Amino acid sequence: MPSKNFWAKALLVSALLSAGQVVSANDSNPKDRNVTIGVLTDMSSVYSDLVGAGSVLAAQMAVDDFIKEQNPDYEIRVISADHHSKAATASNIARKWIDEENVNVIADVAGASVTLAVSELGSKKNTLVLATASGQSSLAGKDCKPTTFHWTYNIPAVSATTARVVTQQGKKNWFFITADYAGGYSMRDDASKAVVANGGKVIDSLTHVLGNNDFSSALLMTQDPNVEVVGLANAGNDTINAIKQANEYGITSNKTIAPLLMFVTDVDTLGLEVAQGMYVTAPFYWDLNESSRAWSKRFFSTHGKMPTMPQAGLYSSVMHYLKGVDAAGTTETDAVSRQMRNMLVNDMFVQNGRIRQDNLMVHDMHVFKIKKPSESKYPWDYYSLVSTIAADEAYLPESEDCSLVR
């Protein structure tokens, strides 16, 4: 496992003058451009499997690849910390990083409350935030910030797409099991709109606390004969536990289970025998194409698991940020942000991704169906591609609720 404090030192393509100064390509002191990237992630709580150490590795891979490709004349450092899925903890760490560690950009910030707290702090401190592990849709609305770039996915693009696909297949009557936090409610509400828009009906919804281990009462309520679909408006271990218990109670045999935010590591934990037939909406799957496969195998060789979409998205965002620093010739926040907005995102994660006025990076989404055990031919061969949804269809239009939209 790579260390949490990681220095990637670029070769200095410059000469020592008689005064002992180092001159960079743009005639400025390269030390003025040294970059510190802080990966603020969940190492030990409900989201640790889908971000955690894998997110730190993804950031380090981006730094390694950038140095190999660009040979910059400045240092790039990656540091990391565990926010334990607590907004106050995340804010305290982020504040210390900015004030004492000279952190230039903070990435990951998994969890809605964590994302919003760190995004607010980044705005006040004029420090960039790469929200790569949060689906919080308000980041492109009332909570948008000029210093926060929302990467990877948002809830409407993922949850509403899954709900639409399932409802269009004739499964009309939904019951939602909803995590009691902003992201859970956003999943439920966006999916509900898609259900109703496609001729379906929401019969009921029940909430649960984050990190719930007992879904029995909620699952018993889904036994209503009118319920056809159990929508899981949660993520991480909560999704895994709900599906495991639904399978144990025999609910999966007569109801459709629709996880609204599911990751490849969730499927690996559950196994295909349990997860088969469920739909997943995601921008990235390790086995989608040659580029994703090559990068994912490198990731796997160190991490021992294939990357989730937030981990792949973190690599993409950090690489894009470093390209912005290189183009701007500085780490100054506004200058780097302008360069990032001016460049399309083309990498192993997405093709032709673009950053809108609201700082949401939009891109195509893919709908996958989880394979039967008999269909899987090699380890981690879990998904079959059903369809690809164009970015403009997957994402909602820009909203005037965002102060950045003009």
- What residue ranges in 173-245 does DSSP mark as E strands? 173-179, 201-208, 229-233
| Residue 374, domain member (yes or no) | yes
CA-to-CA distance for 389 and 384, rounded, in angstroms?
15
Instruction: Looking at the structure, tell me whether residues 162 and 263 fall in a common domain.
Output: yes
Instruction: Looking at the structure, tell me whether residues 262 and 196 fall in a common domain.
Output: yes
Helix (H, G, I), strand (E, B), or coil: what is residue 88? helix
| Residue 403, domain member (yes or no) | no
What integer pLDDT is reported at residue 19 of this predicted model? 29
Instruction: Looking at the structure, tell me whether residues 125 and 257 fall in a common domain.
Output: no
Residue 125 belongs to domain with CATH number: 3.40.50.2300
Instruction: Looking at the structure, tell me whether residues 139 and 16 fall in a common domain.
Output: yes
Residue 334's CB is within 10 A of a number of other CB atoms, namely 12
CA-to-CA distance for 62 and 214, rounded, in angstroms?
39
For the chain, the helix, strand and coil percentages under 3-state DSSP, each to the nearest 5: 40, 20, 40
Instruction: Looking at the structure, tell me whether residues 227 and 177 fall in a common domain.
Output: yes
Q: How confident is the model at residue 55 (pLDDT cuts 50, 70, 90)?
A: very high
Instruction: Looking at the structure, tell me whether residues 223 and 329 fall in a common domain.
Output: no
pTM of the model: 0.90
The type of residue at 194 is: A
| Residue 404, domain member (yes or no) | no
Q: How confident is the model at residue 30 (pLDDT cuts 50, 70, 90)?
A: low
Complete edge-to-edge strand list for the sheet that includes strand 256-259: 201-208, 173-179, 229-233, 256-259
Residues in the chain, total: 406
Residue 337's domain comprises: 6-153+288-362
Q: Is the pLDDT of residue 22 over 50?
A: no
Contacts for 130 with CB less than 8 Å, ≥ 6 apart? 105, 106, 107, 108, 149, 151, 314, 317, 318, 321
| Residue 401, domain member (yes or no) | no
What integer pLDDT is reported at residue 26 of this predicted model? 36
Instruction: Looking at the structure, tell me whether residues 19 and 132 fall in a common domain.
Output: yes
Instruction: Looking at the structure, tell me whether residues 379 and 261 fall in a common domain.
Output: yes
| Residue 68, domain member (yes or no) | yes
Instruction: Looking at the structure, tell me whether residues 372 and 233 fall in a common domain.
Output: yes
Provide the β-strand partners of residue 41: 82
In the numeric block, the tokens 């698991």 are attached to 305
Instruction: Looking at the structure, tell me whether residues 210 and 333 fall in a common domain.
Output: no
Q: Number of folded domains in the chain?
A: 2
